[in-house]
Structure formats: C-alpha cells, structure tokens
Amino acid sequence: MKRKNVIALISMSLVIYALFAACKPNITEQNTVVAGKGQAKYVFLFIGDGMSMSQISSAEIFSTARSSKDIAVTRLGFSQFPVLGMVTTYDAGTFITDSASAGTSIATGKKTLSGVINMDTGKTQEFKPITEYIHEAGMKVGIVSTVTLNHATPASFYAKAPSRSNYYDIAVQLAKSDFDYYGGGSLLQHAGRNGDQQSAIEIAKANGFTYVDSKDVFNSLKPGAGKVLAISPVLQDDGAMKYEIDRKPGELSIVDYTRKGIELLDNPKGFFFMIEGGKIDWASHANDAGAVIHDVLALDAAINVALDFAKKHPKETLIVVTGDHETGGMTIGFAGTQYETFFDKVALQTRSYVAFDDEVLKPYKAGTPAGAAKLADLLPEIKKSFGIDFDTLTAFQKQQIEFAFQRSMGNEQVRSFAEDIYVLYGGYEPLTVKLTQMMNQSAGIGWTSYSHTGVPVPAFASGAHQEIFGGYYDNTDMYRKLASVMNLKVQ
C-alpha cells in the first residue's frame, strides 16, 4: 500500500473510531490513540476563556461584514484550521463549569467541582497536570495569560489548590515551580491577602526566576535567559493586562508575550506553551461585545505568531485553540433587531466597560456633589465611548439609561427595586452595563447571563496529529489527546 493510502486508512479509522466513541455516554480512555508515528514536539494550546462560537463568529463578522447587507465573512486565522472538534465542558457538580474545574479537566483529564484546581471533589487527592509530565520528558513549559497568572486557568497548568481563591498559595506554587516562562498579567495577592507575607515575586527570584516588569528589559530577553517571570508593566482591573480595545500603541500585548515565549522556549527537545485570552471571559461576564471582539482578534493575532513558528517546523508543531466554557450566553441575534445585524455600531466603541468606569464614571461620581448629578453631563462621553447618541433613542431606552444612571449615582429610591437589580445589571455599574447591553442589542447581539453557560466549545487544530482533535468529545479527553501527541505516558 502506498504511504498516502496508509495515512488515508488511518485517518478514516480514526474518524470511524471517533464517531463510535461519540455514541458512548461515558467518554474516558478511548482517545489515547496516536495517529501515526512521531511526536508533536512544539505544542501550543490557546485557550479563549469564555470563548465559544458566538464570541468567535462575532469577531469574524466585525472584521469583515459590519453592515447587515454585507454577508461576506472572512475567517480568522484559527477558524481556518483544518480540524474542528466540539468539546463538552460540564464538571463534576454542574453542567455549567467554572474555569477552575474546566482547567483541571484539560490539564489532568479528570472532572472536579467548580472552584477546585487539580484536586478531587473531596479536595484531598492531588492530580498531576500534564505540564509536569511534559517537564519530566525534558520539554520546556510556558504559560501566558492576559489576566493574573495565578487566576484559575493558568493555575491549572502548574498548581493544586482546594480553592481557586487561594491566590497567595497558588502564586507561591508558581514561584516554586520549575517551568520556564510565565508571562502576562500580575500575581494577585502576591504578598498574601493582607500584604503581610513574603512576596511570591521574591520567592520566584530566590528560586531562579528572572523577574521582568519593564518593556525594555522584556524586549531585551534572549534565549538562554533561564526561567522568566514577565509581568506586564501596564495593568488594568485586578492586576490583569489591559483589554485590547484600551491598549495604547506600544504597550505590550498578548502577541508580544507569545512571540517572546516562543523565542525563549525554543529548544531541540521541544516545548508546550499554553496561552490564555483570559479577558474574553471577563468582557463576556460584563456583556461587553466590543471588548470581547477585540480580545478575540488579539488572541487570533497571537495564534498567527504560532503559525509563523509552525512554518519552520511544520511536521513537529501542533496548535490547538479552544475555550474552557462559554460566558454570557452571547448570541448573534436579538429580539429587537430580528434578522438584522449592525456590527458597524460596535466599531464606534472606543473603550471597554472597565475603562468607562475608571476614566468617566468614577471621576464624575467623585467630583459631583450628592444630588447634583445629571445624566446630561455624561452624554458626550457616552457618545464618544459607545457611539450612543441619546437624542436618537426611543423613550423606553432613554428611561432605561436614566434609571441606570440614577442607580449608579446611588439614588436610594431606585435601590428599592432590589429584586430586579441583579437581572438588570449583574453586579456591574448599572449605567455602564446598560450602555453596553443597549449598544450590543442595537447591533443585533444578545446576552442571556452575567455568568458562564453550559454550551459546548469548539476546538480547532492544525499541525502534527491534528486529526485526533476532530469529533465531539469531552474536555477531559483534551488531556489524553495532548498527552498522546507528545508520546507522554500519563495516568
């Protein structure tokens, strides 16, 4: 048989195998098949936190087809990957997972409860993440996140914790780890909840990490730098990197942290590099489609950097792009716009919800005496930030914004409608979330939640052994698939 035919036969068997496997209710051990010989030496795992198809499709529509009459859609780099799978995300306690249990599933192949990182549901037994096997095999390990590096998703690749909120403990585990490159957001509570413990950054330095928090030093890092902990010089909410929509030209981005990571991790034994677009989730929680879309596009740009690397090692590089769950119940289509979309409205947005809070709303509140606040004062900034022209709104829309403004200003009379407040604003600044929702709805984008949802997420794969990532499987299978492509003997 010719080599091509052999490959075709193997691929076909895999497809049949995957179809057969998908029929079984409990998907566990069957995905340890290695497609063909050899090893994926350079493995990229990109995780869009909170990213499912609506976040991805919105970025595609935004990029190429903003008018509802223009139905041309150009794919993102990663949504053109040759292999697509769908991944279930439920955890041991709920159909709607959080990032801790979802990260545990991907990193260890085991289900646990929401909030738990790489431990069993009883929070006594520790699970060994895939990165430890990878490190033992002599490959380097890199971890990047746009949110804090001790947040649940990145933590799942180096830590074990009964609670994702044990930020200090997780930061210390990062500091004591022997992985090669950490980059992106800061370490939340690095000196403990009360700031009275030894800084995890100091512990990291003592453990041989080069700590970098300036752009010039970051840019000058060269291969052979040893273990690196690189934190963005510019931080935004809760120590995360800025939203892409708020990032100023020249400020370091997820693309820079990915490019530098490749430079530092590249070695003859190979590497595993997990890169998280963490703020896709945060923006989706806040129902801010503009911030979501710009962060998905930034993740895509980082993936393109990995693709450039793959061109140099086409047979040995694998790139997988997935989400850990969907956030916000985002969809394309809203009752008020029926079959129409107007993504040109999203293009008018110039700030994330966080930047509007920080740069407009908080200073206004601080500088305005009680009782003197007027919505009219903010209308120019509202137009500049979200493209909303108040005068053109319906009476109902104007009333909703006025109501939210009053609540943001602490009007006690408005606060008496408490039972509806969570559904209306989800714990965000009422005015800000009402503005993003209203702009999103007018663009034809709907939201159902301020939390995560239980829909599956896609997994796109390109490169060595890409074919085993096709089909419909569980997030725990992602672990076994990744282990098999790297020839790791895992439990």
Pick between residue 281 and residue 288 the one whose CB is nearest to Zn ion. Answer: 281
Residue 281 within binding range of Zn ion, rule CB under 5 A: yes
Contact region with Zn ion (CB under 5 A), list: 62-70, 84-92, 195-203, 277-285:
277-285
Asked if 21 and 471 count as a contact pair (C-beta separation under 8 A), the reply is: yes
Residue whose pair of structure tokens reads 């730098």 in the numeric block = 225
295 touching Zn ion, by CB under 5 A: no
Minimum CB distance to Zn ion, residue 103 (Å) = 11
Would you state the structure tokens that stand for residue 217, as one six-digit string?
Answer: 């030093």
> Shortest approach of Zn ion to residue 284 CB, angstroms?
7
Residues whose CB is less than 8 angstroms from the CB of residue 155 and which lie 6 or more positions away in sequence, other chains included: 100, 103, 117, 161, 164, 170, 173, 174
Quick check: 415 and 407 in contact, CB under 8 A?
yes
Query: Candidates 146-154, 157-165, 279-287, 466-474 — which segment interacts with Zn ion by CB under 5 A?
Result: 279-287
Burial 184-222 (b: 16+ CB within 10 A, else e): bbbbbbbbbeeeebebbbebbeebebebbeeeeebeebe
Q: What are phi and psi of 439, to 5 degrees?
A: -65, -45
Q: Using only C-alpha atoms, what is the Rg of the chain?
A: 23
Min CB(50)–Zn ion separation in Å: 5
Stretch that binds Zn ion, among 194-202, 264-272, 281-289, 337-345 (CB under 5 A): 281-289
Interface with Zn ion by CB under 5 A: which range of 55-63, 278-286, 328-336, 403-411?
A: 278-286
Q: Which residue is nearest to Zn ion (CB)?
A: 281
Number of residues that bind Zn ion (CB under 5 A): 1
Q: For Zn ion, give the closer residue by CB, 450 or 469.
A: 450
237 touches Zn ion (CB under 5 A) = no
Give 246 or 281: the residue with its C-beta nearer to Zn ion: 281
Closer by beta carbon to Zn ion, 417 or else 422: 422
- Closest listed residue to residue 471, CA positions, set 179, 86, 64: 86
Where do we find the tokens 């009402």? 434
Closer CB to Zn ion, 57 or 451, in the complex: 451
The least distance separating Zn ion from the CB of residue 100, rounded to whole angstroms, comes to 10
Strand ranges in 161-264 using DSSP code E only, listed in sequence order: 181-184, 210-212, 228-231
CA–CA distance, 121 with 27 (Å, rounded to integer): 19
Q: Which is nearer to Zn ion, 281 or 357 (CB)?
A: 281
Q: Taking the complex as a whole, how short is the minimal distance between the CB of residue 426 and Zn ion, in angstroms?
A: 12
Q: Which of 270, 312, 300 is nearest to 485 (CA)?
A: 270
Least distance in angstroms from the C-beta of 95 to Zn ion: 15
| Residue 363, both tokens | 């200073």
Minimum CB distance to Zn ion smaller for 287 or for 484: 287
Q: Shortest gap between Cβ of 49 and Zn ion (angstroms)?
A: 6
- Candidates 263-271, 273-281, 314-322, 421-429: pick the segment binding Zn ion (CB under 5 A): 273-281
Q: Which C-beta is closer to Zn ion: that of 89 or that of 166?
A: 89
Interface residue list for Zn ion (CB under 5 A): 281
